[in-house]
Structure 1
Amino acid sequence: MELENSTTVRMGLLQAYTELMNNRGDPRVQDWLMMSSPVPTLILCLSYVYFVKWLGPSLMENRKPFQMRGILILYNIFQITYNAWLFYEAVMVWYKNKYNIRCQPVDYSDSPAARHIAELCWWYYICKLTEFFDTISFVLRKKYDHIIWLHVIHHGTMPMSVWFGVKFTPGGHSIFFGTLNTFVHVVMYSYYLLAALGPKYHRFIWWKKYLTALQMTHFVAIMIHSFQLLFRENCDYPRFFVWWIGCHAILFYIFFSGFFKEKYGDKKLRDSATSGATQAKKVK
């Protein structure tokens, strides 16, 4: 009897999953790379966490740190360019489609404008996957003190989180979140580029604490922008994703504010002007 009930439950869950993926997702993205199932993205995220916290340090245990200055310079230039392009395209979407900051439903049509927005969301998702290299570079250089859980949780969850957005709600109200996030990443990777260029340029990176403050501010803006829809009954945007985006913003704000207090509170805040120029620790 128990075996029969267990089988029934499994079949019910499988049927519900199939229904969700095949009939509730946006059909326009169904055949796009990585979009038919969340499993490949989940595997990549779990593999990333396993590598940066356990496998990578184990493999590097008896090896010298890799010298990656040139690679890091190119990588940061790539991320600046990638995020700047996404930011520009998002701003153009705001302008051309008269984006309504108070309520913007998803356009599921096959119009060129609607498909372009969906494609931008997919490219944003791919961008989150490329950011795994931030932490992988720490492992290869044996900068293990940089691999804090804030960093790992952020990078390890974002691709999976964004995947659901692309699958079910590519565009609409969430464009605000992507626009702000890509702008912050342009600023952030500019900081990392200056850090990677070497000591000669470290005098220009005294503003690290303000970068963290900018990150915290953009989480607050995303939080407010998302949750204000809870007070609008006539906005045709899924409530689940209102909570999904808003709760992510709350979670990361808590993480980043804790890091900010630990890093810059009390005496550390007074000393940050002198110590910041010698720090290149990446946290997002």
Structure 2
Amino acid sequence: MAIASYLFHVSKYIDLLDTFFMVVRGNKHQITVLHIFHHSSMILNSWMGVRHAPTGHSFFIHLANSFVHISMYSYYFLSSLGTWIRPYLWWKPLLTQMQIIQFFFMFIHMMFGFYNDCPLPMPLVKTVLIYLIVLICLFINFYVQTYLKDSRKLLKNKEY
């Protein structure tokens, strides 16, 4: 499990390539507070996991996060193929929903740190729980601003 935790940590550095490609492609509008906070804090958070909890407990978190990232990077790859494929990529909002659901499941999973003589250090459990609350709030805000804000305006305009 320690090797898996370390590889997960290394993958967070690879995730930074996402930011590099955004800058190179001129998509600086995608580099938001959420993006910077999430990517930079995941490096610290995953290091804490390697350092203090390279156990089976963290495997669930790694598995869930990896599944979401495989889905996200599949979407990014497909969208890079050109505009002809865009009509088939209707599922972009589902990616953010998957991330939010993932964070809720991780939160529930970390709550087990308070029970059953969990070997995880309590400060780590509390830190990760607070971190997950922040991520949930940031991602819900992103979802509302990106996918719901315009649809509410459209509905409001239809009423008149």
Among 232, 236, 245, the alignment partner of 2:119 is 236
Unaligned runs of 5+ in 1: 1-116, 272-284
> Residue type of the partner of 1:184?
V
Among 15, 36, 51, the alignment partner of 1:131 is 15
> Residue type of the partner of 1:234?
D
Distance in 1 (alpha carbons) for counterparts of 2:24 and 2:152: 30
Conserved? CA contact 2:64–2:102, under 8 Å: yes
Q: Percent identity?
A: 31
Distance in 1 (alpha carbons) for counterparts of 2:8 and 2:98: 20
Conserved? CA contact 1:138–1:144, under 8 Å: yes
Among 113, 134, 138, the alignment partner of 1:255 is 138
Unaligned runs of 5+ in 2: 155-160
Distance in 1 (alpha carbons) for counterparts of 2:22 and 2:92: 18
Distance in 2 (alpha carbons) for counterparts of 1:253 and 1:163: 21
> Residue type of the partner of 2:15?
E
Question: What is the number of equivalent residue pairs in this alignment?
Answer: 154
Distance in 2 (alpha carbons) for counterparts of 1:148 and 1:209: 17
Among 63, 73, 76, the alignment partner of 1:179 is 63
Using structure 2 for the length normalisation, give the TM-score: 0.88
Residue deviations 1:121-142, cap 9 Å, x none?
Answer: 1111110001111011111122
Mapping 1:117-266, distance limit 5 Å: 117-230=1-114, 232-266=115-149
Shift of 1:228: 3.2
Shift of 1:196: 0.8
Residue deviations 1:182-228, cap 9 Å, x none?
Answer: 01111111111111111121122111111111110000000111013
Cα distance change of structure 1 residues 270 and 212 upon mapping to structure 2, 3 Å threshold? farther
Conserved? CA contact 2:112–2:118, under 8 Å: no
Cα distance change of structure 1 residues 128 and 233 upon mapping to structure 2, 3 Å threshold? same
Distance in 2 (alpha carbons) for counterparts of 1:195 and 1:118: 35
Conserved? CA contact 1:125–1:166, under 8 Å: yes
Conserved? CA contact 2:52–2:120, under 8 Å: no
Shift of 1:269: 6.6
User: Aligned-residue CA RMSD in angstroms?
Assistant: 1.7
